[in-house]
Amino acid sequence: MRPQSVFALLPALAQGIRIIQSNDDGWAELYVRSFHDFLLAAGHDVVLSAPAENKSGTSSLDIEPFPRNSACQYNSCPPNSRSPIGRNDTSPRLNWVNSFPVTSMRYGIDTIGPQHWNGAAPELAVSGPNVGSNLWLSVPFSGTVGTAVYASKQAGIPAIAFSGASGGTLAWNTNPVPLRSTVYAELAGILVDKVVQAGKPYLPQDVWLNVNFPDVKEAEGKCVDVEQFKWVLSRINPAGILSGKDVSTCGADRLPTETDVVNEEDGGGCFISVSVGDSNDKTTASKEKQKVVLDKLAGLLTCLP
């Protein structure tokens, strides 16, 4: 039986899989914890391995973790642990690594995850939801993107980076949990479910999905319910004169940029961008790889108005 859950919506689970999870805002940030809880409630075997503190904007930096002498973010671990990695002893799926986001993903994939999975490797890597958007020009600097790129390229694990436009930092134990944190968790869970249901291989090689959620406008009652959001296939960087065609969809062979998608206000707004990223250079992947993703996400994706 599934654990009791605060989430309004739980996908009809096809199968639980082994998921490694990271972020760059820190292991004790609420967005990553809400998503973790959602994946657990949906029946996935998920393990979090994330930086001990906020390491936003650290791109693909990766150095060996070093002993920690101060408390973790929001006092989430004791000072003077003198340990390079640590965990929540009562919830050992929750782990911190005293280094950069990519390092925490690497440890999660190589060491921490397999300890939970009888030595098996993760089947999917997810990152975030990041606190704040990771669109186009910010993509190369994002640690959240860095972890997904590392997982997909260096480790060969299909990977998805999630980011939410609504900002404001929240400790893991914020009570009650603000709406934006559960909405982003549920949306990310919907995409994971869709990708898993479409079967293996979950994504083409050397590809990660860069997913950006628009603002949850609680005061206006806009984009507050997962049913109000719409998913659109996008590209990361605007096409230049030398860019090849994109996959043919929505009556064109040029995808909208992710910035265009999340800023779209017509048709009720609340559009989510899903870009197929090339893990070799953090730009938009080829139309052939876009096509694989388009087919996998059929039924979920829609067109801009």
Ligand X SMILES: *[C@@H]1O[C@H](CO)[C@@H](O)[C@H](O)[C@H]1NC(C)=O
Chain residues binding ligand X by CB under 6 A are: 25, 28-29, 54, 56-57, 76, 88, 90-91, 94, 131, 169, 172-173
- State which residue, 91 or 243, has the beta carbon closest to ligand X: 91
- State which residue, 76 or 234, has the beta carbon closest to ligand X: 76
- State which residue, 56 or 99, has the beta carbon closest to ligand X: 56
Rounded Cα distance, 202 and 86, in Å:
30
Which residues on neighbouring strands pair with residue 207, listed in sequence order? 278
Rounded Cα distance, 256 and 261, in Å:
7
- State which residue, 16 or 57, has the beta carbon closest to ligand X: 57
The DSSP 8-state label assigned to residue 246 in this structure reads: P
Helix (H, G, I), strand (E, B) or coil at 53: coil
With 0-12 / 13-18 / 19 or more C-beta atoms within 10 angstroms meaning exposed / middle / buried, residue 217 is middle
- State which residue, 104 or 290, has the beta carbon closest to ligand X: 104
The least distance separating ligand X from the CB of residue 131, rounded to whole angstroms, comes to 4
Largest CA distance in the chain: 59
Rounded Cα distance, 260 and 163, in Å:
16
The CA-based dihedral angle spanning residues 237, 242, 243, 245, taken in that order and rounded to the nearest 10 degrees: 150
The least distance separating ligand X from the CB of residue 159, rounded to whole angstroms, comes to 21
For residue 283 the two structure tokens come to: 């730009």
The least distance separating ligand X from the CB of residue 88, rounded to whole angstroms, comes to 4
- State which residue, 54 or 290, has the beta carbon closest to ligand X: 54
The least distance separating ligand X from the CB of residue 17, rounded to whole angstroms, comes to 22
The least distance separating ligand X from the CB of residue 26, rounded to whole angstroms, comes to 6
The CA-based dihedral angle spanning residues 229, 151, 20, 109, taken in that order and rounded to the nearest 10 degrees: 180
The least distance separating ligand X from the CB of residue 239, rounded to whole angstroms, comes to 29
Backbone dihedral angles phi then psi of residue 151, each to the nearest 5 degrees: -60, -45
- State which residue, 88 or 228, has the beta carbon closest to ligand X: 88
The least distance separating ligand X from the CB of residue 234, rounded to whole angstroms, comes to 24
Q: Is the dihedral of CA 149, 46, 192, 40 positive or negative?
A: negative
In this structure, are residues 52 and 96 in contact, taking their beta carbons and an 8 Å threshold? Answer: yes
Rounded Cα distance, 244 and 240, in Å:
9
